[in-house]
């Protein structure tokens, strides 16, 4: 299967068309990763060339900094552009990504997350290109990062941040990918699902941790997971809650226990008025969170690049 990327220098009008084929049957994390790793193994592009091209792109927007809300400040909302979900099916496969981004910005979102996975989420690099051009918000490429080339591709598409899923990576890959992201001035959302993964993320130097409340094998949601893990996230690390966030009540609870940001997709995509839906999630004050001291950690956004 050919690798789907936006080539260096590609404009929004030249981006690959969106593919809305049938979702493959192996939609758990193992099946998804197998698809992405096979594609990465078949990628014969020169990594040094990709790094050079990615390094020459226009400056990134400060994704982590936009989420670095102090205690007492207003929780940040990362609003997601998402056409389809393996667990929920079609959400809005015909959406206009640029128009959605404009609505999100008008509603007060702090950033936009864009699904670029084609096979399992019907996303597209074209969606990210369109979003980046349509708004002034920093943009996260939401995809399954399994190689340094994936990080370069994110930069070439115009992303300001990438997703690194701890469950999908070895310790060596996690540390290496964080270094590549920093080299390319990209922020990294390091996603965890349990205490062991959080420890691995912090040991690797994660400055921005996303706690996913959805089990990537069963797709069930455990809303208690966010509460358990936030107690172990140091105060200097930005904490983001993901998945299973249905509305204002959920967001208020997460802000109260110390999350500085939430990533919300399905409920916003399904909302008849997306501007109002985003606005309803804003305004919640971030509370204090217990944290374990980990000497030597830098505040998010403080990495020298």
Residues labelled catalytic = 80, 82, 142, 191, 212, 242-243
Q: What tokens were used for 251?
A: 């967001």
CA dihedral 116, 118, 123, 126 (to 10 degrees): 70
H or E segment to which residue 105 belongs: helix 97-107
Alpha helices by DSSP H, listed for 112-262, are 125-134, 148-157, 171-183, 195-203, 224-230, 248-256
* Nearest in space to 132 (alpha carbons), one of 107, 161, 168, 108: 161
Instruction: Decide: residue 149, CB within 10 A, 0-12 exposed, 13-18 middle, 19+ buried.
Output: buried
Q: For the chain, give me the number of helices (H) and strands (E)?
A: 12, 10
Q: What secondary structure letter does DSSP report for 23? A: P
Residue 145 near residue 173 (C-beta atoms within 8 A): no
């Amino acid at each position: 299967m050919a690798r789907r990327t936006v080539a260096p220098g590609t404009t929004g009008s030249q981006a690959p068309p969106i593919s809305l084929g049938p979702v493959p049957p192996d939609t758990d994390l193992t099946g998804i990763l197998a698809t992405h790793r096979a594609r990465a193994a078949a990628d014969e592009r020169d990594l040094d060339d990709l790094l050079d091209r990615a390094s020459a792109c226009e400056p990134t927007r400060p994704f982590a900094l936009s989420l670095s809300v102090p205690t007492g400040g207003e929780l940040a909302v990362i609003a997601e552009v998402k056409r389809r979900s393996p667990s929920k099916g079609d959400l809005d496969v015909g959406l206009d990504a640029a128009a959605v981004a404009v609505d999100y910005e008008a509603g007060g979102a702090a950033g936009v997350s864009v699904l670029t996975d084609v096979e399992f989420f019907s996303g597209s690099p074209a969606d990210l290109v369109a979003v980046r051009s349509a708004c002034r918000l920093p943009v996260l490429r939401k995809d399954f990062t399994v190689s340094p080339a994936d990080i370069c591709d994110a930069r070439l598409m115009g992303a300001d941040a990438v997703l690194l899923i701890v469950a999908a990576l070895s310790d060596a890959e996690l540390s290496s990918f964080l270094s590549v992201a920093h080299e390319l001035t990209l922020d990294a959302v390091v996603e965890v699902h349990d205490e062991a993964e959080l420890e691995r993320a912090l040991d690797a130097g994660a400055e921005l941790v996303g706690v996913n409340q959805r089990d990537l094998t069963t797709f069930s949601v455990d809303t208690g997971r966010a509460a358990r893990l936030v107690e172990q996230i140091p105060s200097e690390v930005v904490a983001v809650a993901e998945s299973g966030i249905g509305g204002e009540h959920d967001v208020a609870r997460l802000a109260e226990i110390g999350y500085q940001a939430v990533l919300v997709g399905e409920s916003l995509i399904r909302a008849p008025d997306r501007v109002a839906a985003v606005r309803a999630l804003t305004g919640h004050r971030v509370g204090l969170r217990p944290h374990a001291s980990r000497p030597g950690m830098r505040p998010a956004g403080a990495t020298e690049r």
